């Protein structure tokens, strides 16, 4: 038996036969050509063929994963039509007299290098799309047909990584699981796995060899383990785990419609964090009380130019309508730091995590910010909207935003476009400054939501993306809990409610201290809602002071 460890993307335990994804790699030679005009015509013909194919793939993907995730093929069409990309290819052909397939390959390599050096994981993942586009163009230039790939029943698809056009063409009814050597949680393989409930492991590394093709294997999508030719004992243990997890899921389903209330009668709201429209089904399926964090920056990350008012309005309206009157908290765009976008043309900063980001960027570019505010206000008549401001450190930032909102309302009045006057305006507590000044912030805001991811890294002065720092300091340092308690107390002093929207909120082992300090709402990934409800219903937090002392939050 061989055991390989990777990163779990979607839970589940399945068995099947390993099938390595095979692809025909195009061989590209570097040649000088005599007639660049003809070579450019070959490139233009390849573009038209590729665009036609991508449109077909988009229509297939809409049926499989919905419009939001199928949009990856619209992004690929944009890459093919990109002015800078086409200019670079054309110059290599017309000025340097290189063959078209080499010009495409070189340009794609150059662009991929630029993508890899960016801070944003989302942009880095676009390298896979660029490779997909490049291979497609080269196939058409070389007049080669696309490789067909058929899978057997219960196939565990293995590959170094899979590009979007490869995953969408697979017969998903035969795919038991995905396993890749590389990739990240933002990769298309990971997105497809989560959307279609297919167990998946990524980042297994070079140990995943093609020589395992045809081997029987079991995938544990909970722990991220791949067992190749497992022995009888391992199979029996995994089968027990599978049955146990299935029973847990069934038991959790019985909690739908139940209250999030402890044994002693302490109640808390459980909301969901989402990144876009495609997550709504999961929010409803898992019985969330509302949406505690809609990451609006994904509307910017998914486009190659600023999303206009109508596009944003459509997305916000759809979310509000589908939540059917439940509170929807939409965070204004949190761009900057690790979410940089080329078309924003932000200057390179020595430390972007401490630089021009989030609310600072919005206030520096008020016209751009007002476009988002107009879309939000217009959508507010279709549900219960709350707007949340990220990275607030000072009262003046809230006041300036309120002034922009009033200005935006006057613009909508002049257009005779309706909006609600019952919109809550909240702020994220994600810096020590915000927690320390929360008594003053609470007098301006309607609610707080504690962004524990950033609050923890700024409090401990530790980059949360730096794996080398994981061994330093205890998990969720007492200092973090104390700052959360300060914010919670100040919110309640002024009659405001307070929630958590960071990853820490889903940590079951800290649920009792969250309730003891008076957290009113916890927003987590949709799949965590029912397990967290189960945990809450098992707790007794009547001895709040003792619990707070236990976690170092009280003397």
Asked whether 531 and 508 are in contact (CB, 8 A), the reply is yes
Find the angle CA(400)-CA(402)-CA(403) to the nearest 5 degrees: 65
Using CB atoms within 10 Å of the CB of residue 410, give its burial: 0 to 12 exposed, 13 to 18 middle, 19+ buried. exposed
CA–CA distance, 111 with 126 (Å, rounded to integer): 10
Helix (H) or strand (E) holding 387: strand 384-389
CA–CA distance, 438 with 237 (Å, rounded to integer): 50
Residues making up the chain, counted from first to last: 555
- Would you give the distance in Å from CA 26 to the centre of its chain? 32
HSE value, Cβ hemisphere, 13 Å, CA-based, for 75? 25
Asked whether 183 and 230 are in contact (CB, 8 A), the reply is no
φ, ψ of residue 269 to 5 degrees: the values are -85, 140
Asked whether 317 and 301 are in contact (CB, 8 A), the reply is no
Residues with active-site annotation: 188, 501
- The b/e string for 117-152 (b: 16+ C-beta within 10 A; e otherwise) is ebbbebbbbbbbbbebbbbbbbbbbeeeeeeeeebe
């Amino acid at each position: 038996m061989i055991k390989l460890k990777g990163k779990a993307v979607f839970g589940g335990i399945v068995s099947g036969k390993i099938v390595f994804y095979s692809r025909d790699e195009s061989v590209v030679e570097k040649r000088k050509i005599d007639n660049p005009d003809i070579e450019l015509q070959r490139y233009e013909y390849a573009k038209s063929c590729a665009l036609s194919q991508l449109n077909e793939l988009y229509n297939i993907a809409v049926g499989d994963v919905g419009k939001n995730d199928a949009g990856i093929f619209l992004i690929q069409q944009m890459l093919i039509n990109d002015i800078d990309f086409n200019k670079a290819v054309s110059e290599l052909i017309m000025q340097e007299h290189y063959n078209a397939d080499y010009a495409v390959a070189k340009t794609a390599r150059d662009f991929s290098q630029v993508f890899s050096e960016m801070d944003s994981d989302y942009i880095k993942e676009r390298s896979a799309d660029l490779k997909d586009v490049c291979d497609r163009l080269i196939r058409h230039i070389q007049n080669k047909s696309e490789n067909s790939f058929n899978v057997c029943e219960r196939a565990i698809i293995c590959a170094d990584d899979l590009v979007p056009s490869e995953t969408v063409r697979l017969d998903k009814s035969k795919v038991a699981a995905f396993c890749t050597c590389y990739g990240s949680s933002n990769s298309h393989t990971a997105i497809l796995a989560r959307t279609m409930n297919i167990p998946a492991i990524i980042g297994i590394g070079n140990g995943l060899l093609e020589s395992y093709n045809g081997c029987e294997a079991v995938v544990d999508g909970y722990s991220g383990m791949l067992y190749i030719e497992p022995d009888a004992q391992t199979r029996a243990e995994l089968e027990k785990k599978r049955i146990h997890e299935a029973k847990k899921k069934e038991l959790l389903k019985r909690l739908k419609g139940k209250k999030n209330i402890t044994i002693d009668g302490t109640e808390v709201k459980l909301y969901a964090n989402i990144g876009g429209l495609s997550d709504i089904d999961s929010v409803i399926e898992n019985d969330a009380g509302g949406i505690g964090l809609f990451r609006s920056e994904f509307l910017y990350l998914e486009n190659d130019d600023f999303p206009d008012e109508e596009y944003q309005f459509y997305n916000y309206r759809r979310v509000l309508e589908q939540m059917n009157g439940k509170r929807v908290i939409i965070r204004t765009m949190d761009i900057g730091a690790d979410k940089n976008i080329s078309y924003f043309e932000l200057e390179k900063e020595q430390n972007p995590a401490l630089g021009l980001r989030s609310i600072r960027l919005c206030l520096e570019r008020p016209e751009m910010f007002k476009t988002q505010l107009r879309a939000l206000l217009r959508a507010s008549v279709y549900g219960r909207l709350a707007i949340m401001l990220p990275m607030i450190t000072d009262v003046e930032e809230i006041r300036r935003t309120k002034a922009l909102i009033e200005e935006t309302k006057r613009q909508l009045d002049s257009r005779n476009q309706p909006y609600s006057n019952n919109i809550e305006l909240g702020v994220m507590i994600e810096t020590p400054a915000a927690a320390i000044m929360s008594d003053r912030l609470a007098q301006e805001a309607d609610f707080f939501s504690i962004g524990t991811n950033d609050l923890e890294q700024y409090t401990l002065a530790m980059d949360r993306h730096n794996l080398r720092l994981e061994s330093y300091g205890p998990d969720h340092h007492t200092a973090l809990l104390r700052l959360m308690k300060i914010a919670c107390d100040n919110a309640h002093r002024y009659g405001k409610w307070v929630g958590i929207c960071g990853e820490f909120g889903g940590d079951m082992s800290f649920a009792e201290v969250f309730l003891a300090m008076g957290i009113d709402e916890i927003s987590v990934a949709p799949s965590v809602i029912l397990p967290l409800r189960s945990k809450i219903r098992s707790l007794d937090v009547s001895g709040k002071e003792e619990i707070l002392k236990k976690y170092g939050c009280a003397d």
